[in-house]
């Protein structure tokens, strides 16, 4: 794998544009268009919430074809819980993009993020779609990453280059998300673009596996969105031999994709609404991976654990309590817990290292919690952040 350069490497054949529609508030670009010069294979993963936004429902229907050429996205309005009108608006947006770019509507995917339960202001959106199509290629991927933000404080973008045969291909990913983050999937939009030719089946498997190990293992507040969408487009403009699951370069492609989704996941958690600390929880010694996940999420979603870390208080009894109600089978008298390298729980009992542990929390913005259940060989890592007064302020005034 070739090391990522400091600037973003853009995959060949993708054009970008961004525009200000003032959907929620004026003063920033809040619509963007991603356009591939050639039809691309596409794979997607969508929210597991039974309440799905209109764009998600449309995307789930269109993804069956495995083909795409454009993504139109807006922030400020989720177009969720908007009934038949919401679906009509999503379809109309795709048709306007298709007409402007002279492609089939079925090749256009619509994504929205923002306030739930408000109809889309189509009188603002229609003219901006024509503007976006006309300006295609006049923006950078960084501009798209900025346009899709809601409560995010910075755009999130990761790009890597890899060798495929005798060619150098690029995979670039952007995402948004800072609140309403819970697994299956985390509340977010994610768009991954590559100029590498990848078979539909292989692309689906690669994305599904990557999401399971990244976006499905982060939590900020335990709330699941109606709009979560991760899409990957592979337009093949690198000109490589089509990658299949058994192709020599597929393993490298998958490893690079895994790295991109994991790094994007970390950026989401680090930008958690009101967060001051990034927390990695690693559970080892579990009977199986699912039990490791369950234990990790119980700790990660505990408001008591998250507020203690915010307050630099190594109240590790809260961690033990969370493991206890996680629903897994384990012997509490065999559990060891570390904060950083400090052993704070030994065989289920306090190790008496509160002062050292409190100092560790005070001195560090990135916190590592290691839990060893000492039962089996399985493990899992869960990412989260602390819980602060600022989170309440942000969400109390979200619509105003």
Domain 278-396: top CATH class: alpha beta
Residue 195 CA to residue 11 CA, distance in Å, equals 5
Q: Which position among 4, 151, 187, 384 bears the catalytic label? A: 187
- Write out the H or E segment, with its range, that includes residue 355: helix 354-363
Residue 27 CA to residue 277 CA, distance in Å, equals 30
Q: Residues 309-361: pLDDT tens digits?
A: 999 999 999 999 999 999 999 999 999 999 999 999 999 999 999 999 999 99
pLDDT, position 220: 61
Q: Residues 240-267: pLDDT tens digits?
A: 999 999 999 999 999 999 999 999 988 9
Are the C-beta atoms of 187 and 225 separated by less than 8 Å?
yes
pLDDT band with cut points at 50, 70 and 90 for residue 389: confident
For the ranges 145-154, 234-243, 384-393, the maximum mean pLDDT occurs at 234-243
Burial class (CB in 10 A: 0-12, 13-18, 19+), 321: middle
Mean pLDDT of the chain: 91
Q: Residues 202-234: pLDDT tens digits?
A: 999 999 999 988 888 887 655 567 888 999 999
DSSP category for residue 252: H
Domain with CATH 3.60.70.12 in the chain: 14-270
pLDDT at 1 over 50: no
Q: What percent of the chain lies above the pLDDT cut of 70?
A: 92
pLDDT band with cut points at 50, 70 and 90 for residue 121: very high
Q: Residues 48-93: pLDDT tens digits?
A: 888 899 999 999 999 999 999 999 999 999 999 999 999 999 999 9
pLDDT band with cut points at 50, 70 and 90 for residue 170: very high
CATH topology for the 14-270 domain:
3.60.70
pLDDT, position 2: 36
Helix ranges, the chain (H)? 54-62, 83-101, 122-134, 141-147, 200-213, 250-270, 289-300, 303-310, 317-324, 354-363, 389-396
Active-site residue, 187 included = yes
pLDDT band with cut points at 50, 70 and 90 for residue 180: very low
pLDDT, position 397: 59
pLDDT, position 152: 82
DSSP percent split of the chain into helix, strand, coil, nearest 5: 35, 30, 35
pLDDT band with cut points at 50, 70 and 90 for residue 4: very low
Domain with CATH 3.10.20.340 in the chain: 278-396
Q: Which residue has the higher pLDDT, 72 or 152?
A: 72
What residues contact residue 254 under an 8 Å CB cut-off, 6+ apart?
A: 206, 209, 210
Q: Which residue has the higher pLDDT, 227 or 196?
A: 196
pLDDT, position 392: 73
How many C-beta atoms surround the C-beta of residue 81 within 10 A? Answer: 15
């Amino acid at each position: 794998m070739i090391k990522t350069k400091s600037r973003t490497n853009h995959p060949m054949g993708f054009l970008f544009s961004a525009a200000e529609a003032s959907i929620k508030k004026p003063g920033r670009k809040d619509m963007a268009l991603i356009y591939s010069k050639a039809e691309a294979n596409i794979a997607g993963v969508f929210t597991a919430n039974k309440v799905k936004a209109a764009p998600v429902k449309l995307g789930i229907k269109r993804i069956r074809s495995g083909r795409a050429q454009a993504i139109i996205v807006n922030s400020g309005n989720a177009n969720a819980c908007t009934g038949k009108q919401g679906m009509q608006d999503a379809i109309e947006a795709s048709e306007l993009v298709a007409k402007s770019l002279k492609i089939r509507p079925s090749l256009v995917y619509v994504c929205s993020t923002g306030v739930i339960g408000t109809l889309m202001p189509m009188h603002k959106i229609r003219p901006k779609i024509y503007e976006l199509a006309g300006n295609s290629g006049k923006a950078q991927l960084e501009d798209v990453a900025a346009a899709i933000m809601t409560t995010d404080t910075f755009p999130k973008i990761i790009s890597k280059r890899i060798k495929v045969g005798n060619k150098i291909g690029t995979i670039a990913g952007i995402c948004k998300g800072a609140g309403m983050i819970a697994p299956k999937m985390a509340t977010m939009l994610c768009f991954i673009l590559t100029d590498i030719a990848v078979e539909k089946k292989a692309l689906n498997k690669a994305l599904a596996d990557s999401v399971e190990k990244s976006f499905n293992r982060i939590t900020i507040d335990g709330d699941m969105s109606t709009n979560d969408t991760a899409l990957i487009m592979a337009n093949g403009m690198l000109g490589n031999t089509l990658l299949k699951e058994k192709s020599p370069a597929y393993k490298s492609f998958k490893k690079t994709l895994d790295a991109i989704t994991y790094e994007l996941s970390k950026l989401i958690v680090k930008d958690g609404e009101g967060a001051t600390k990034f927390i990695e929880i690693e559970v080892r010694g579990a009977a199986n991976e699912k039990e490791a996940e369950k234990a990790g999420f119980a700790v990660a979603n505990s408001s008591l654990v998250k507020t203690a870390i915010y307050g630099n208080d190594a109240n590790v009894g809260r961690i033990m309590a969370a493991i206890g109600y996680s629903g897994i089978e384990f012997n509490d008298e065999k559990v060891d817990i570390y904060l950083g390298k400090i052993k704070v729980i030994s065989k289920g009992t306090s190790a008496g290292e509160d002062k050292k542990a409190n100092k560790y929390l005070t001195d560090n913005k990135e916190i590592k919690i290691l839990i060893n259940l000492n039962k089996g060989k399985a493990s899992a890592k869960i990412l989260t952040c602390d819980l602060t007064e600022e989170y309440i302020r942000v969400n109390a005034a979200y619509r105003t």
